[in-house]
Homo-oligomer: A and B are copies of this chain.
């Protein structure tokens, strides 16, 4: 595939990811998705500041890892206020090629209590590698809870650490990462589903919920990565014009 064809496909996938996550209720009017540039790992692709459901290929901007557009931008092109999430994660995690930041509704309660989000459903086995909570109050007082500086981005990436695929943001939302955009979308979706099911399981029997163990998570995540394309095709068909 030519570089241009690879870039076109990346942009098309990124647009689909935005619309899929909006259609499936993971993103509302806020949140954003990015993808590492297919032939320049020191850049990433992300929409200008826009509700994810409305993103088109024309809205995608190449950002460097300090979250600056690589091309001079139009005067009315606003960038996402929390783009620091993306740049700092790509710097800290070379294994990561896609990042989803959402306010996925049922994950917020886990971000705001001491109950850890844990892998209950096999599709969410990646939660076994950790789902730490980032408490912004440990870094800044009286903030707007948002990751709006390089320092907060670094602190958040450090809470995510070298191995976890999800970090919860207290009072705010979460960040999910993956080696491909299909896998990051799959994980953002199943983080929400697992949260709903864990909440119900904890109500049924707070002390006897059986979570996946470490060996199960290791094995299962590999399989899930290999099948993430199946729901992707289904979801894409619902949101993209033919």
**Does A115 sit within 8 A of B, measured CB to CB?**
yes
The total of chain A residues at the interface (CB under 8 A) is: 67
Q: Is the CB of B29 within 8 A of A171?
A: no
Pick from B54, B135, B172: contact of A234, CB below 8 A: B54
**Does A143 sit within 8 A of B, measured CB to CB?**
yes
**Does A75 sit within 8 A of B, measured CB to CB?**
no
Q: Which residues of B contact A158 (CB under 8 A)?
A: none
In the bound complex, what is the Cα–Cα distance between A113 and B211 (angstroms)? Answer: 9
- Known A-B contacts A200-B199, A216-B143; the reply to A210 vs B112 at CB < 8 A is yes
Q: Is the CB of A209 within 8 A of B144?
A: no
CB distance from A203 to the nearest CB of B (A): 6
Q: Is the CB of B115 within 8 A of A103?
A: no
Q: Is the CB of A29 within 8 A of B121?
A: no
Q: Of A60-68, A85-93, A218-226, which stretch is located at the interface?
A: A218-226
In the bound complex, what is the Cα–Cα distance between A110 and B145 (angstroms)? Answer: 25
Q: Is the CB of B29 within 8 A of A145?
A: no
**Does A150 sit within 8 A of B, measured CB to CB?**
no
In the bound complex, what is the Cα–Cα distance between A196 and B193 (angstroms)? Answer: 15
- Known A-B contacts A172-B121, A219-B143; the reply to A204 vs B28 at CB < 8 A is no
**Does A180 sit within 8 A of B, measured CB to CB?**
no
CB distance from A71 to the nearest CB of B (A): 23
Q: Is the CB of A122 within 8 A of B142?
A: no
Across chains A and B, which 8 residue pairs bring their CB atoms closest together, nearest first? A142-B215, A29-B231, A109-B201, A51-B234, A113-B205, A109-B200, A115-B204, A144-B220
